[in-house]
Amino acid sequence: MLLWFVVIYLVISIGIGLYAATRVHSARDYIVAGRNLPFYVVLAMVFATWFGAETVLGISATFLEEGFRGLISDPLGASLCLVLFGLIFARPLYRMNLLTLGDFFRIRYNRQTELVLSICIVLSYLGWVGAQMTALGLVFNVLSADVVSTTQGVLIGAGVVLVYTLFGGMWSVAMTTFVQMIVIVLGLAYVTWIAGDMAGGVGQVIAHASAAGKFEWLPQLDALDMLAWIAALFTMMLGSIPQQDVFQRVNASKNERVAVWGTTLGGVSYFFFAAIPLFLAYTAMLIDPAMVARLMEQDSQLILPTLIVNYMPFAAQVVFFGALLSVIMSTASGTLLAPAVTFSENVLKGFWKDMSDRQLLLATRITVVVFAGLVTLYAVSSDESIHGMVENAYRITLAGAFVPLVAGLFWSRANNLGATLSIVLGLATWLLFEMFVPEGDIEPQLYGLIASALGMLIGGLLGAPNARPPHGGHGHAAAGTHHVASR
């Protein structure tokens, strides 16, 4: 019966997504929803896209194992990323009226920078979308009592997300995400209230977690420990800034004010609401410590679903799994669309000079299908945890794309030489340390970030500065237009 309720919910989600597809008449509609989304929808998209499988299943399991110290990257780093993007990056990027971050790299630097960094951005999404597909597999496996294997669940979930993302693009993401956010907030709040009572009350749960040292989050007064803490924070906080999904939500806003505050408040909302799955997971420690101990050795990501199935009334089970599917699908749809748009707009279109708007729309949809297949394969074949997949996703963008974005926006001497040196030194340093010192005291991507900054500084000081485009006037001035000549 529970599985049938889930199936009905999935069908409703597909229906909403397909209805949203009726609003798609051009590539611009598909990619940025006609730049017409109001504040409450942008906030919902920012919150629900980042409140994904890693938040409910991943970081809650990490919290049980490591406490707050294991959550420096997410939710702390992830929330700070969204706040920083909203307050610092949203306004100048929104004024440029672009479709993708790759467009910025082309206009600010050159085609080569656009191509390399766009590929880096696309690759970074393998881990994030793969984590959502893995979570869908876990959910279907638990709901079916092992009748549906995790692999089969991944395939089913990927198919559902693909259908409504393929046809409706950002309009489908916006409409389904708004509905899903309501289900997420109400559903998880209701289930947490029940679980708190079963565990002896909110105060009892918090006191027990505090006594167990789960709330310690600051690094020790040791240089290596502090560097490791900073690396974990920076990977998500800064590595997530040069990402198409965040930019796409900013760019789909109906005005600049919505772009800034929808993103900023979405980040604040994410930080505070991320405490709900942590509390819910810890109640399991008090309700059934034997079950928690067993699943910690087997697969800690199953603790929450197992708690709900074994101890919650049927209504709470329906609400929880509805909320969980909302969490996963809202993130999966948005993060599936972002790399597909980047590839078609900034990689493919550069080699197809006279691509029309209709052809760009078709190419983007084909890329959505191909990328869905790749991330599904990655999810099926990877043995990485959900939290680990997401954490590792941003290493490449931190090492290669963050510095060129920041310098391009805020340093007048940023130039092609600086961008080239920044990318080459950043990525090469990261890869060398990743290959030869992967388990060092300092994360490899932090070395890459430092090398990238040095490369930009050297190139900026030695080379002639590029002409900076004004914050506005460039990019897609009207639906479906594109500055092919700038390539």
Nearest residue to 382 (alpha-carbon basis) of 112, 134, 208: 134
Q: How far apart are CA 304 and CA 322, in angstroms?
A: 14
- Do residues 137 and 389 lie in contact, with contact meaning Cβ atoms separated by under 8 Å? no
Task: For residue 124, give the nearest of 378, 323, 314 by alpha carbon.
Answer: 378
- How far is residue 105's CA from residue 92's CA, in Å, rounded to a whole number? 14
Residue 487's pLDDT is 32
When mean pLDDT is compared across 211-215, 255-259, 365-369, the lowest value belongs to 211-215
- Distance CA(460)–CA(199), nearest Å, equals 58
Rounded-to-integer distance, Cα 345 and Cα 366, Å: 13
How far is the CA of 238 from the CAs of 111, 233, 446, 450, in angstroms? 24, 8, 11, 13
Backbone angles phi, psi at 37, to 5 degrees: -90, 135
3-12: long-range contacts at Cβ-Cβ below 8 A with a sequence spacing of 24 or more? Answer: 3/143, 3/144, 5/318, 5/321, 5/322, 6/139, 6/143, 6/321, 6/322, 6/325, 9/322, 9/325, 10/160, 10/325
**Strand-pair partners of 37:** 253
Answer yes or no: pTM beyond 0.75.
yes
The answer to whether the beta carbons of residues 427 and 433 sit under 8 Å apart is no
What dihedral angle (degrees, nearest 10) is formed by the CA atoms of 245, 247, 248, 254? 140
**Cα separation of 377 and 326, whole Å?**
22
Residues 6+ apart with CB under 8 A from 273: 47, 51, 185, 188
- Whole-angstrom distance, CA of residue 277 vs CA of residue 296: 16
Q: Would you state the pLDDT for residue 198?
A: 92
Residue 253: beta bridge partners?
37
Q: Is 148 left (phi over 0), alpha (psi -120 to 50) or beta?
A: beta
Average pLDDT over residues 153-169: 87
Query: What's the confidence (pLDDT) of residue 319?
Result: 85
Q: For 204-225, how does the pLDDT look when each residue is reduced to its tens digit (9 = 90+)? A: 999 999 998 888 888 888 888 8
Rounded CA separation 91/53 (Å): 29
Confidence class for position 426, pLDDT limits 50, 70, 90? very high
Confidence band, pLDDT 50/70/90 cuts, at residue 468: low
Each residue's pLDDT tens digit, 177-207? 888 888 888 888 899 999 999 998 999 999 9
pLDDT digits (tens, 9 = 90+) for 10-37: 888 888 888 888 888 888 888 888 888 9
Residue 295 clears pLDDT 60, i.e. is over it: yes
Block residue for tokens 């500084």: 457
Q: Could you identify the residue written with the tokens 């880096």?
A: 120
User: Is there a contact between 63 and 282 (Cβ–Cβ < 8 Å)?
Assistant: yes
User: CA 324, CA 312: separation in Å to the nearest integer?
Assistant: 15
What integer pLDDT is reported at residue 477 of this predicted model? 40
Contact by Cβ (8 Å): 280, 304: yes
Separation of alpha carbons 478 and 106, rounded Å? 19
Residues 6+ apart with CB under 8 A from 284: 64, 195, 291, 292, 303, 304, 307
Residues in contact with 257: Cβ distance below 8 Å, sequence separation at least 6, in sequence order = 39
Give which of 354, 323, 41, 359 is closest to 171, Cα–Cα.
41
HSE, CB side, 13 Å, CA atoms: give it for residue 469.
21
Comparison of pLDDT for 413 and 2, the residue scoring more:
413
Q: Calculate the average pLDDT of the chain.
A: 86
